[in-house]
Structure 1
Amino acid sequence: MVGEGREPQKDNDLFYTCSLIDYISRKTKNVRSYVVNKLGKERLEKIYDLADVYHCDNIERVCNDFIDDAKIEQGNFDNVADCGYSIPTYWDIGKVYKRLIKRVAEYEKIDIISALEKVYNSFISPKIDDYNSSVYYENPEYIFECYRENQML
């Protein structure tokens, strides 16, 4: 397939969407669920649908536009400053969430944005976002099984 690259375009779009969520969360010092809920389903669908366009723009500018539009306030959650180890990039974390959201959408037979909202609002999100733990670099299937069982296994 011409222009597809190594994975389907919608996978890349989900990856960008999750990475942008992490970028906004870091910039505003908020937990990921707060940012997802403030963005809301309509904005999340817009980001996902137009990710290939947004990806061509400066992520800082895109981030600021969505912070302003969704009226995301400054918080005090700073998992980057709290990290005592090597800090994963927002792209690294975007990849972790992308894989989990895809699995949840397939398993629960729901659309990607619904799966995204469920994952970010589940118990597993704070675990992934604790960079002093090992969850974010665990095997994607293990993370999914923990999500599915609603507990760390």
Structure 2
Amino acid sequence: MNELHGRENPKDNDLFFTCSLIDYIARRTKNKRADVVNALGEKRLEKIYDLADIYHSDNIERVSEDFIKEADIKDGSFDNMGECQYAIPSHWDIGKVYKRLIKQVAQEDNISVITALMEVYNSFISEKIDDYNSSMYYENPAYLFECFRENKVL
């Protein structure tokens, strides 16, 4: 049942939280988003997505620490924030970008949200979105989807 409570489906908000948490973990551990997604794995991602309505009421720092430890995510050397020459978007801002793209991929390809999430984060578009010196992260969602679909920047 896709009952609405407010302006959007609650599962859309759960996807938003899941993507924001991925970004938060990536920033804390200085890893690429794909590395975080792959370290968390499908089962943990499903758990985060399924329980996002509970996790989002907790402190994101504590929730991220739990998953960093559980998935044994080591510190990396990827620092897209340190290299940024402009205002840095928040993990919530980036979570929204990914949520929109993942939702569209899942709908268009008729696949699960978690399958779409793993595909998007492991595609070329993820590195483009995470380059905060480019304009990709604030591009139109339809444009991002077409770039993802064509596997190149259009």
Give the fraction of aligned pairs with identical amino acids, expressed as a percent: 68
Stretches (4+) displaced over 6 A: none
Q: Which residue of 1 aligns with 2:74?
A: 73
Aligned pairs for 1:89-128 (under 5 A) are 89-128=90-129
Q: Per-residue displacement from partner, 1:42-86 (whole Å, max 9, x unpaired)?
A: 000000000000000000000000000000000000111110001
- Report the CA distance between 1:3 and its aligned residue: 7.3
- Report the CA distance between 1:6 and its aligned residue: 1.3
- Report the CA distance between 1:7 and its aligned residue: 0.7
Aligned pairs for 1:6-45 (under 5 A) are 6-45=7-46
Q: Which residue of 1 aligns with 2:52?
A: 51
Q: TM-score, normalised by structure 2?
A: 0.97
Distance 1:32 1:2, change over 3 A: closer
- Report the CA distance between 1:104 and its aligned residue: 0.4
Q: Which residue of 2 aligns with 1:134?
A: 135
- Report the CA distance between 1:2 and its aligned residue: 8.6
Give the whole-Å Cα distance in 2 for the aligned partners of 1:88 and 1:44. Answer: 23
CA RMSD of aligned residues (A): 1.2
Give the whole-Å Cα distance in 2 for the aligned partners of 1:82 and 1:14. Answer: 28
- Report the CA distance between 1:5 and its aligned residue: 1.6
Output the amino acid matched with 1:21: I
Give the whole-Å Cα distance in 2 for the aligned partners of 1:51 and 1:14. Answer: 8
Output the amino acid matched with 1:52: D
Output the amino acid matched with 1:136: Y
Q: TM-score, normalised by structure 1?
A: 0.98
Give the whole-Å Cα distance in 2 for the aligned partners of 1:39 and 1:144. Answer: 24
Output the amino acid matched with 2:147: C
Output the amino acid matched with 2:116: A
Give the whole-Å Cα distance in 2 for the aligned partners of 1:2 and 1:140. Answer: 24
Give the whole-Å Cα distance in 2 for the aligned partners of 1:139 and 1:2. Answer: 27
